[in-house]
Amino acid sequence: MKQLLERDIMKITSTTSLYGVIGDPVSHSLSPIMHNTAFTRIGHNGIYLAFHVSDLPSALSGVKALGIKGLSVTIPHKVAIMNLLDEVDEMALRIGAVNTVTNKEGRLVGSNTDCLGAVNALLEKTPIQNKNIVLIGAGGAARAIGFGVLSQGGNLTLVNILEAEGEQLAEDLGVDYHHLSEFDKLDYQILINATPVGMTPGTDAMPVKSKELKNDAVVMDIIYNPLKTRLLKESEKMNCITIDGVSMFVHQGVAQFEMWTGKKAPADLMRDVVLDALSYLPQD
């Protein structure tokens, strides 16, 4: 990636602040490229790494022991991590999921920037208020998106393949739940996929069948690797407006960056470097 190779790399020293993303899987993440490029641009002495974490309690003990300054939290830890933190802010408590952790002098504080990221990504392409919206998924990202949609006046219906998980989130949000097998019976103007179905390396998969998609809807997939998932490709054939995962990803990353550094994030650069990185990855 020419843009990345040409940039100056800040010297790593004993005073360099360490940040990272934790998840399982996590090898697909472009958060390191996005944040490291942004750190370099503004002159912040920090480095951001990806950590494959299955043992969450031990990982958080390590965060404290090593003095790691901040974490992004991805699948499947966004809900489970809440009970392991020293503090969770009000917004994340209301959402019921954490995607950001800040180490404040040894106290790990959880926040959620997914909600803002999702809302801003949608509003770039469509109004939300009074729209009939179907959300597929019931994990941490779905919680944040559902909360955001409702806060903007959208009419939300939740769909999930695991009934207990789906029913619980629907109850928490105060919306209707349907099993994924009933998707073709639902009417919607906006469809959002908040599951990992279709993510690299399983790019042939999609959460619903092509024949179940509606013409002229707005379809958003929070997956950004690949940039154009099979769901988005099939939706384009149905004359749908599509929203890829990069917009939500960058918006939430900008909020994280500013939370950790106290400085304005170079948002345009962060978007450009993610798109540049994705252009070098197979999209089929």
pLDDT tens, residue by residue, 39-94? 999 999 999 999 999 999 999 999 999 999 999 999 899 999 999 999 999 999 99
The predicted-structure confidence for 90-118, as pLDDT tens digits, reads as follows 999 999 999 999 999 999 999 999 999 99
- What one-character DSSP code corresponds to residue 242? E
| Average confidence (pLDDT) over 18-37 | 94
Q: 200: pLDDT confidence band, cut at 50, 70 and 90?
A: confident
E-only strand ranges, 97-164: 100-104, 107-111, 132-136, 155-160
Prediction pTM value: 0.84
d(CA 278, CA 157): 31
Q: At what angle do helices 245-261 and 267-279 cross, to 10 degrees?
A: 130
Q: Superfamily assignment of 116-244 in CATH?
A: NAD(P)-binding Rossmann-like Domain (3.40.50.720)
Which helix (DSSP H) or strand (DSSP E) does residue 219 occupy? strand 218-221
With beta carbons less than 8 A apart as the criterion, state whether 144 and 79 touch: no
For the CA atoms of the chain, what is the radius of gyration?
19
- Domains 2-112+247-279 and 116-244 in one fold: yes
Which pair of structure tokens corresponds to residue 59? 């990982």
Alpha-carbon torsion, ordered 10, 15, 19, 25, to 10 deg: 80
Q: Which residues contact 227 (CB under 8 A, 6 or more apart)?
A: 244, 245, 246, 275, 278, 283
| Average confidence (pLDDT) over 5-13 | 59
CATH number of 2-112+247-279: 3.40.50.10860
Strand ranges of the sheet holding 190-193, from the earlier edge strand across to the other edge: 176-179, 155-160, 132-136, 190-193, 218-221, 241-243
Looking at the predicted structure, is the pLDDT value of residue 232 above 90? yes
Among 2, 64, 69, 78, the one annotated catalytic: 78
Asked if 78 is an active-site residue, the reply is: yes
Which pair of structure tokens corresponds to residue 88? 């969770």
Provide the pLDDT for residue 75: 87
Looking at the predicted structure, is the pLDDT value of residue 27 above 90? no
Q: For residue 219, give the amino acid letter.
A: V
Provide the pLDDT for residue 39: 96
Q: 283: pLDDT confidence band, cut at 50, 70 and 90?
A: low
Provide the pLDDT for residue 4: 44
Q: 28: pLDDT confidence band, cut at 50, 70 and 90?
A: confident
Q: 210: pLDDT confidence band, cut at 50, 70 and 90?
A: very high
Domain boundaries, the chain: 2-112+247-279, 116-244
Provide the pLDDT for residue 11: 80
Provide the pLDDT for residue 282: 59
- ∠ CA(72), CA(149), CA(81), 5° rounding? 30
Provide the pLDDT for residue 5: 40
Looking at the predicted structure, is the pLDDT value of residue 3 above 90? no
Looking at the predicted structure, is the pLDDT value of residue 265 above 90? yes
